[in-house]
Amino acid sequence: MSIPGTSGAAPAADDAAVLSTVARPAFIGSDLELWLLQLSSYFMACRITASAMKYHRAMSKLPPTVNMEVRDILTAPPAETPFQKLCLALRARLGTSSRQRMQQLLWGEFLNDRKPSQLLRSLRHLLSTTGTTSEDLIFRPLFLQRLPSNVQAGLSTF
């Protein structure tokens, strides 16, 4: 027995009912990784496994500004694993770097109108995505701060 949606063909009639009841997640520009996770869940719920089908479903939810960022991928879709290549391009062009997330963690997060527990969750999430430990996060800036400015400039790229 074959699993529906595993070939590149259009979904079977019983899959059409699933596709019409499960809403594709709207693009979240402020959190690309969250959107990709939601999209993955959508594909699982709809039993979509073919990369080409995933590519077309994801592409149809991208806003025009994002389409312009990945225009090269959209105008000439890769023959093999187009969805994976689209995701890589989105991450490379729209995702935040580890350095940007670290800066956001150190200086960009405030309580504002959030609950303290929401702020803590946000800080923990940023820390987990920086690819560094909390010790590196604290000691590296302290160390760099104490060096002469010409040495700081040379080391800041590492």
pTM of the complete model? 0.67
The angle formed by the CA atoms of residues 74, 8 and 92, to the nearest 5 degrees, is 35
Q: What is the span of the domain harbouring residue 57?
A: 13-94
Average confidence (pLDDT) over 61-69: 96
Q: To the nearest whole percent, how much of the chain has pLDDT over 90? A: 46
For residues 76 and 118, membership in a common domain is answered with no
Give the CA-trace dihedral at 143, 120, 96, 43, to 10 degrees: 150
Is residue 60 situated within a structural domain? yes
Tell me the residue type at 72.
D
Is residue 7 situated within a structural domain? no
Average confidence (pLDDT) over 128-140: 73
pLDDT of 13:
53
pLDDT of 102:
78
Mean residue pLDDT of the chain comes to 84
pLDDT of 16:
65
Is residue 45 situated within a structural domain? yes
Q: How sure is the predictor about 98, in pLDDT bands with cuts at 50, 70 and 90? A: confident
pLDDT of 14:
60
Spatial contact of 5 and 15, defined as CB atoms under 8 Å apart:
yes
For residues 19 and 66, membership in a common domain is answered with yes
pLDDT 10s digits, 25-62: 999 998 899 999 999 999 999 999 999 999 999 999 99
Of 18-22, 45-49, 119-123, 125-129, the poorest mean pLDDT is in: 18-22
For residues 109 and 141, membership in a common domain is answered with yes
The angle formed by the CA atoms of residues 157, 94 and 43, to the nearest 5 degrees, is 130
Average confidence (pLDDT) over 98-121: 86
For residues 23 and 71, membership in a common domain is answered with yes
